[in-house]
Structures are given as structure tokens and as C-alpha cells.
Amino acid sequence: MIFIDACFKKPTPTAPVWLMRQAGRYLSEYRATRAKANGFIDFCRRSDLAAEATLQPIEILGVDAAIIFSDILVVPLEMGMRVEFAEKVGPVLPDPIKTQDDIDRLANDCADRLEYVYDALKIVRGALAPDKALIGFAGSPWTLATYMIEGGGSKTYATAKKMAYSAPDLLHKLLRKLSDAIGDYLLRQIDAGANAVQIFDSWGGALEKSAFFEFSWHYMKRIAKRVKSERAHIPVILFSKGAGGYLEAIDGDFDVFGVDWNTPIERAKSVLFDRYALQGNMEPARLYSKAAIEAGACDIARVMGKENGYIFNLGHGMQPDFSSENAKFLVDFVHETFAR
Amino acid sequence: MIFIDACFKKPTPTAPVWLMRQAGRYLSEYRATRAKANGFIDFCRRSDLAAEATLQPIEILGVDAAIIFSDILVVPLEMGMRVEFAEKVGPVLPDPIKTQDDIDRLANDCADRLEYVYDALKIVRGALAPDKALIGFAGSPWTLATYMIEGGGSKTYATAKKMAYSAPDLLHKLLRKLSDAIGDYLLRQIDAGANAVQIFDSWGGALEKSAFFEFSWHYMKRIAKRVKSERAHIPVILFSKGAGGYLEAIDGDFDVFGVDWNTPIERAKSVLFDRYALQGNMEPARLYSKAAIEAGACDIARVMGKENGYIFNLGHGMQPDFSSENAKFLVDFVHETFAR
């Protein structure tokens, strides 16, 4: 698997490529699969449909890794929180976490309740070609905590930050509980067939440097360390959107640092590449134009084109209004451009 | 005025302090003033009320500079676009810019139509103590363009970015027209009594590095150069939220670089302080707790405490749910802590 080789900085014939949120609404095939489910949560819980969505980008785009189709919010869902996905509104958690009691009430056995994800992983791993990797994933403790405290998405993260600055001990209790659950969950995903795991810290950049390391990176490292100590052969990828200003202080026991599109790739290379493989970081909006795709991929190739230990990806996720034709164009262009 | 002295890196007895969005809903006095107007646009157009709101933070908090109360969207408004401010929804521009014709239709004489802002500046400058500075401001061309293209605020800036990557010439035409208007507007604000001007690039960080310099910073520099060449004695402050990863490439003819809270202040100091004064950058959410205010201000004092050419501010704006008591506590604490 060239994806796994790149994670471990072994030589590969070209840069492996996959796209964050590659199983998504921009694919008509995905929309057809989703239409078979009774709402988004049912979609996540139907292992057959989740497996179908997971495999589509492999077939349609020719990417080198599949990432299991799911949502980061299945963790709070299976910890017992109400999670609602209304069309075009984003997720809503109507009973947000406010107190110690709310935290105590969260189930400890969430990883046991996520069998449907493990079943989907088994189906996908059975169907995938042997040279294609399968990636498991989870949201970071901080990112999940923002949804659980805010009661959904947020522009300012005011409620979660208020807790960080006014009741840090309470927030730490929640983050510890989430870290344990996420660690269990990732280990179970590996045992079900995941060849690598990624932790998505979508809202790490909502925190200033000191708070980022205290409330987000600390827990990501803790989970990564546990996974690496128990499954050393599995690459661990950490992705924190918005951590570009904090690179000098990044540390921990993991394999691949996911670079977001705000972080110049040459800066990530100079600060982190001696210690970690790098994944990223084309600006997703370049998908709107083939000329912009070519220019963006060539810019990255000038920095990372000859390096082992580099995985091409976007610097954030695919958007619903992107075209699958341009996504396919990107994957082919990268395979050609980065060929050794 | 210690604020102006700090902009020019002259010695001051302590660090001057003001707070972005210091005239705002967190002040009951502001809410009372706003209630006298017939909606938000009327509030901006009523010079007497705008002056009242501008002066409140000077009286209540004891900050060293007043910033004229207005909104960045008065520029598209007076270029002839429909701009609506509905409560709790954010601004809506129902007829967004899509074509060359839409751009051609924008009025060239917008600066002439903003007399109400100049009138407010005159009232404020007449009422302000001589040691307090008055700041004029405008949104950056890119930031205004995002509202004008998206038809309001946005989470992804997908439409504006689509134009950037698919029709860059069209976007550049809009940005040039906005730059001319904003330059006129800032010069007129100076002539009406502003002692300094700041350009707010709230959404600069929505652009990857190459696009940031092409579509945002280039135009901010162009406006700054014009203002400095015509009014050399007036400090120009540039603030781009999200530019922390791009500091090494920052250049141009201006006086003060506004540091956002995502950018570690020690990094801004090492990269930019030999060329520019610095303003910023406490995480606004620290306002929720006096202990967090003290810790945050002390962290900054360890880096900038003894430096001339430093202005204390937040790294982004005040929020409606902040307490004026904590804001006052912050201003006093900074004046004490940074005293030489």
C-alpha cells in the first residue's frame, strides 16, 4: 500500500493521494446511497450503506486510500447524547453539556456501541484491493467537546471557551472521558480492519496557542501515544485545522501531521518534516477550476515532489458543490506529477 | 497622545490600550443609544448617535483611543448596494455581485456619500480629551468583496473563492474599485479629524497564502501607500485576521501590524517588530474571567512589556455577552502592568 509506505517515509513510486470528505455529497453515487437510508444517523448505522459510500471514491476517483464513511458525532451519540442532523442546518445537540452531572451521565462503553462502524470496516476491507489502504477516524476530544458544549456548530465557540477560561477543570474532565472513549474506538477500528487512523481536530484553530496545547493537542497526543503503544504498525495521522501558527511547539508520538491549507507547506516541511510524514494541503476551493488545480498541485510538487513521506490531500474537506470530474482530474494529475 | 506615540515607536509611560469593537452591545449605554435609532443603518447614519457610541468606551473603560462607531458595510451601501441588518441574522446583501455589469453599476462617489461618518468624526474629535486618539477605519477590499459576492456572511466563502480561482480578473476589477473608494474614504476621515486609520481584513485568513497576497494584502498595501504618501503624519494600522502563517511575507508602507489571537505574539515580534509597531492580541474569550485576563495580559507583558511601539488590544473584537466590568478591569490592569 503506497499510502502506508508514505506514512512511514518509505519510498513510493508516486505520492499517494486521498481527499478529506471524499465520500460526500459532491458524488451523485453518494447521494443515491444516502437516499436509501432513513436520515443521516440511520445512514451512519447501516453498515452496508456506509461501506458502499466508503468504496465509491476508490472506484470513481482512483484514490489510494478509503476512509470509512461515518461522522465524528457518532461518539457523543453513542455516549448517550441526543444528536440531530437536519438538512442544511448542521448538527444539533439539544441537551448540551453544562455540569459535572452531564459529564458523569455520558456512557463509558460508547466504543462497544459502535459495532456498526466496525462492521462497515470489515465489509470495506474485504472488498478493497490489497494495494488500497483503509483509514479509520475519530474527531478530537476538543472538537467533539465544542459540539457537546455549544449544542451544535458555532462561529465563536463562546460557550466552550467560557468553560475553558472560567471552569477549566470541568472541561478537562470532559476531555479525559472523551479521550478514553476515542482511544477505545480507534483501537476497535484497527481490529476491524483499519490500516491507519486519523484524528480530526476541526476546531483546534478556535483556540489560542496556550489553550490549544492545554485543551486540544495534549489529548490528541495522549490518544496517539496509546494507539502507537498498542498497535505500533498502524500509522496515526493528526490533523488540527488552524494550528499553522503553532507548528514550532508540535510534538508527540504519531506518524503523519496533516497540514491545513492555511499553513504554507514549505513552513510545515521546514519545521516538522524531520520528525513526521506530511499530508495535505491544497486549498479545497481550487477544485472549482482545473487550471487552479494544476497550479496548486504544482506549487506543492515544487516543495514535496521528490520527498518520501508525503501524502497528497486537500487542506480541508471536499464541499458539496465540487464536481467529481475535477476531483478525478486532480487525483490523476497528482499521480502523474509526483511520479518518481 | 500615547496611542499615536506608540504607533510611531516613540516612548510612552505605559502601553496604550483600546479594544476592537469596544463600542458595542456589551455596553448597556450602547444599547440605549442604539435604541434611539430606527434600525442599524439609521444608527450608522445618525452622526449624533454614532458620536455618542464612539465616546462611551472612553468614559466607561478609560481606553486611550476611540474608534469611530460605524460598520464596514457602509462602503458597499453607499456604492449603491442593498444592505440589510436583521437582528441576530447578520448582514444580508440581497443582490450580490456576479458580473462585470454589477461591478460597473457600483457608484464611484461613495466617499462623498459618507458625510455622516465625517460629521460624527468632527463631533467626537471636538468632544475628546486632547490626549485621546481618534481612529478612523474601513474594511479591506477583500473582506468587503466577500460580503458583496456572497450576499452576506459565509462559513466557506465558496462563491468568492470560486470567483478567485475561476474568474480572477473579475475579482481584481472589483477589488480595484473598492480600493479606490476605501482610499478616498480614509483620506476624508483623516480630514474630518481621525488621528489614525485602521483597515480591517476580517476574512483575510479565508485565503491560502498565495491568494491572500494576490487578492487581499496587495490591495491593503496599495491603500496604505496612498494614505501614507498623502498624509505621512497619520499612522496606518493593518489588521488581517488569520494571516499568522504568512508573517514572513508581510511587507508594505504602513506603521502598525495588528496581530490576531491565533498568532503567537512572540512570533509576530521576531518576524515583524523590527519594521512595524505591533497591536494586539489577547484572546477575546479571556474577557469571561478576571483570572484569565490577568494571565493573558501577563503573558503578553513578558514579550512586549518593555517595548516602545506596542499597543495593547484584543486579537479580535469584543463580543455582545462580555461584561463591561471585566473590560474595565482589563484596561486598568494593562495600564498598571505595562507601566514603565
Amino acid occupying residue A320: P
pLDDT in tens, A206-253: 999 999 999 999 999 999 999 999 999 999 999 999 999 999 999 999
Concerning whether B157 is annotated as a catalytic residue, the answer is no
Q: Is the pLDDT confidence value at B86 over 90?
A: no
pTM recorded for the entire structure: 0.96
Distance CA A286, CA B312 (A): 37
pLDDT > 90? residue A255? yes
Tell me, what's the pLDDT at A328? 98
> What's the pLDDT tens digit per position in B121-151?
999 999 999 999 999 999 999 999 999 999 9
Calpha distance B271→B276 (Å, rounded): 10
- Containing B238, the helix (H) or strand (E) segment is strand B236-240
Contact B116, B47 (CB under 8 A): yes
The partner residue sitting opposite A208, judged by closest CB among B166, B205, B261, is B261
β-pairing verdict for A256-258 and A133-139: unpaired
pLDDT at A201 over 90: yes
Side chain identity, residue A275:
R
Nearest to B124 by CA among B189, B178, B217, B215: B189
* CATH number assigned to the domain comprising residue B182: 3.20.20.210
Residue B150 confidence (pLDDT): 98
Cell digits of residue B61: 473603560
CB A331 within 8 A of CB A64: no
pLDDT tens-digit series, residues A67-116: 999 999 999 999 999 999 987 788 999 999 999 999 999 999 999 999 99
Choosing from A25, A113, A176, A267, the catalytic residue is: A25
Contacts of residue B215 in chain A, CB cutoff 8 Å? none
- Catalytic site residue from A30, A118, A147, A246: A147
Contact residues, A window 131-170, toward B, CB-based 8 Å cutoff? 155-158, 161-162, 164-166
Task: Please indicate if any CB of chain B lies within 8 Å of the CB of A115.
Answer: no
The answer, yes or no, to whether residue B307 has pLDDT greater than 90, is yes
Residues B246, A264: C-beta atoms closer than 8 Å: yes
Active site (annotated) includes residue A45: no
State pLDDT tens for residues B138-194.
Answer: 999 999 999 999 999 998 999 999 999 999 999 999 999 999 999 999 999 999 999
User: Could A165 and B246 be called an inter-chain contact, meaning their C-beta atoms sit closer than 8 Å?
Assistant: no
Which is catalytic among the residues B26, B147, B157, B276?
B147
Closest CA to A316 of A284, A274, A276, A339: A284
CB contact (8 A) between residue A166 and residue B263: no
Q: What is the pLDDT of residue B88?
A: 79
Catalytic residue, chosen from A5, A26, A34, A64, is A34
pLDDT band at A142 (very low <50, low <70, confident <90, very high): very high
| Residue B119 phi, psi dihedral angles, 5° rounding | -60, -45
H or E element, residue B239:
strand B236-240
Q: Which of A171, A154, A161 is nearest to B285 (CA)?
A: A161
Are A140 and A240 within 8 A, CB to CB? Answer: yes
Contact status, residue B76 vs residue B93, Cβ threshold 8 Å:
yes
**Which whole number is the average pLDDT over A261-279?**
98
Query: Is B332 in the active site?
Result: no
Contact A150, A96 (CB under 8 A): yes
**Residues of B whose CB is below 8 A from A156:** 319
Could you tell me how far CA B11 lies from the centroid of its own chain?
A: 24
A87 vs A25, more confident:
A25
Give the 3-state secondary structure of chain A: CHHHHHHCCCCCCCCCECCCCCCCCCCHHHHHHHHCCCCHHHHHHCHHHHHHHHHHHHHHHCCCEEECCCCCCHHHHHCCCCCEEECCCEEECCCCCCCHHHHHHCCCCHHHHHHHHHHHHHHHHHHCCCCCEEEEEEECHHHHHHHHHHCECCCCCHHHHHHHHHCHHHHHHHHHHHHHHHHHHHHHHHHCCCCEEEEEECCHHHCCHHHHHHHHHHHHHHHHHHHHHHCCCCCEEEEECCCHHHHHHCCCCCCEEECCCCCCHHHHHHHHCCCCEEEEEECHHHHHCHHHHHHHHHHHHHHHCCCCCEEEEECCCCCCCCCHHHHHHHHHHHHHHCCC
Residue B21 among the catalytic residues: yes
Taking the C-alpha atoms of residue A86 and residue A324, their distance in angstroms, rounded to an integer, is 25
HEC letters along B167-225: CHHHHHHHHHHHHHHHHHHHHHHHHCCCCEEEEEECCHHHCCHHHHHHHHHHHHHHHHH
Q: In A, residues 49-78, which contact B (CB 8 Å cutoff)? A: none
ipTM: 0.95
Count CA within 13 A, CB hemisphere, residue B240. 28
Output the pLDDT for position A88: 79
Amino acid B173 reads K
d(CA A243, CA B244): 10
| Cα-Cα-Cα-Cα dihedral sign, residues B294, B296, B297, B298 | positive
User: Which residues, other chains included, contact A99 with Cβ-Cβ below 8 Å and sequence gap of 6+?
Assistant: A170
**B147 assigned to active site:** yes
Using DSSP bridges, classify how beta strands B84-86 and B65-67 pair: parallel, antiparallel or unpaired: unpaired
The DSSP call for residue B125 is H
Express each pLDDT in B96-130 by its tens digit.
Answer: 999 999 999 999 999 999 999 999 999 999 999 99
Number of domains in chain A: 1
CA A317, A320, A326, A332 torsion-angle sign: positive
Res B89 pLDDT > 90: no
Cα distances (angstroms) measured from residue B247 to each of A72, A320, B209, B212: 33, 32, 10, 11
- For A306, the domain range is 2-337
Locate the chain A residue with the closest alpha carbon to B207. Answer: A262
